[in-house]
Chain A
Amino acid sequence: MTLSYGGEPVLEGASLDVEPGQFVSLVGPSGSGKSSLLRAVIGLQRPLSGTTDTGLPANQVGMLFQDDALLPWKTARENVALGLRLIGVNSQAADREADIWLARLGLTGFENRYPRHVSGGQRKRIALAQVLARKPKLILMDEPFASLDAIVRSRVVKDVVALVESEGISVLLVTHDLEEAISLSDAVYLLGQGPRAHIIQRYDVPIPRPRDPVKSRLHPAFTPLHAKLWEDLSKEVDHRAEEAA
């Protein structure tokens, strides 16, 4: 796949492998086209060339954005239910399912709240409920936790990991946070500097599941892998800078 905004391609020849039930991250510097790649996969942006086949029907792929983008005039329940209505669930069943998923994300009692009347972490949980309720096989995440503060973030991330593990959902997470990528993923793809960014390498993460995202940072495999990724990424950035000079 090659992506461009009309000029020089931002991203060139990217191909990713996500096994069923696997959590895969894509890390890279800003401007490498990480977000564009996800947008192309979900169909918000057309690639210049190549295809973006996930091998799944569109309604089995979910997407979590950095912004929760919940409809502000709909309550938590209505927002989650709308996601279900759009895959053909009838209105009563959608409301019921919405409440179940909101409860699973710890939002019992918040069903009738509007997005602007809850905290950032709760909004994130509503957005998660909206995506998870549709029982996706694959969830694409575009830095979804970046806007949360540290404590809230680690709690939301912990719940997300537990839910995708128990539901057997594949995840493709885009982030610039190497530590987050390693602690959550089974494999990490490193994307180089754009323009004409390409995938440098795939790194498998040998930390066993089920995982606690905080404790997995203490696993003996974590630090060497982090160091290796960091080194490779730095090399790539320096190399591109030299090329440009």
Chain B
Amino acid sequence: MTLNPQYAWVRRLIALAIFLAIWEAAARAGMLNPIYVPAPGKIWLALVELFGDGRIWPHLEATFGAALGGLALGIVVGIALGILAALVPLIAELLEPIMTLLNAIPRVILAPLFVIWLGIGIASKIALAFILVTVVIFFTVYTGIKQVDRKLVERIVTLGGGRLTLARHVYLPSVAAWVLGNLKVAVGFAFTGAVVGEFVAASRGLGYLLGFAQSTYNSALMLALVLLIMVVVLIIFAVAGKLEKYLLRWT
């Protein structure tokens, strides 16, 4: 059987609908324990309730604030450190092992430490999102600059371009291209950092709600939150994708 790839989304949608229908039917027939596996309808109701009484907004705001704050900070610092390391060999020598180590460990293990250092407020969440993002961006920029096409550099030099011209017309666009190419990864990391940070210790945020749902055995709320986080990240991915497509239209 040959599948028309154009209609893949239709087939996926149908499969999902069938899956949800079976799940719902099984739940209504009493074949699933609602404590562990609530019916899709119940999950939907939990979601509607979250938005219905408006109590989700401060949590969404907290998570978004932490994720976007960490993302922005991580990108700025990651780019700055990447450029510095590429330009100053001593800084590269000192930074590389630290970054390699941070890259090798699951950085979310730092979450409890950040809570001790920065408290249960938004700062510890921003810090976690930041450390997750900055390491990725650092390596992107650092290795990227070292691999800037020599031919482009030589071309500009033969046209009489100096360091400033090279920085503006060769290095800066190259760096921007690499960062944009990794933007989706960075966005994913930023939300991971924010949510995990909130999960560890917080008084607000989607991660906090997840912890609350867990402690009250409210699996409908938990699945509703998982669904919500998925949707949020997908929307941001779509925006990042559009931005990337526009700014990298020359590729």
Residue A42 at the chain B interface, CB threshold 8 Å? yes
Contacts of B152 in A (CB 8 A): 69, 71
Contacts of B169 in A (CB 8 A): 71, 74, 82
Which bracket fits the contact residues of A? 20 to 34
If A58-B160, A82-B159, A86-B161 touch, does A69 touch B154 (CB 8 Å cutoff)? yes
If A72-B250, A82-B169, A114-B250 touch, does A44 touch B158 (CB 8 Å cutoff)? yes
Query: A208 to chain B: closest CB distance in Å?
Result: 32
Query: A144 to chain B: closest CB distance in Å?
Result: 12
CB 8 Å contact bits of B130-168 with A (1 = contact, 0 = none): 000000000000000000010110111111110001000
Partner of A83, one of B151, B159, B177, B249: B159
Residue B45 at the chain A interface, CB threshold 8 Å? no
If A114-B249, A114-B250 touch, does A71 touch B159 (CB 8 Å cutoff)? no
Main secondary structure of the interface of A (DSSP, over half): loop
User: Bound state CA distance, A62 and B152, in angstroms?
Assistant: 15
User: Bound state CA distance, A69 and B156, in angstroms?
Assistant: 9
Contacting pair B159 A86 (CB below 8 A): yes
Contacting pair A72 B159 (CB below 8 A): no
Contacts of B215 in A (CB 8 A): none
Contacting pair B250 A116 (CB below 8 A): yes
Partner of B160, one of A44, A75, A86: A86
Contacting pair B173 A69 (CB below 8 A): no
Residue A11 at the chain B interface, CB threshold 8 Å? no
Contacts of A86 in B (CB 8 A): 156, 159-161, 165
In chain A, what residue has the closest Cβ to B165?
Answer: A86
Contacting pair B160 A72 (CB below 8 A): no
* B interface, CB within 8 angstroms of A: 149, 151-152, 154-161, 165, 169-170, 173, 177, 249-251
Closest 10 CB pairs of A and B: A69-B155, A114-B250, A69-B151, A73-B173, A63-B158, A86-B160, A73-B250, A86-B159, A67-B151, A83-B159
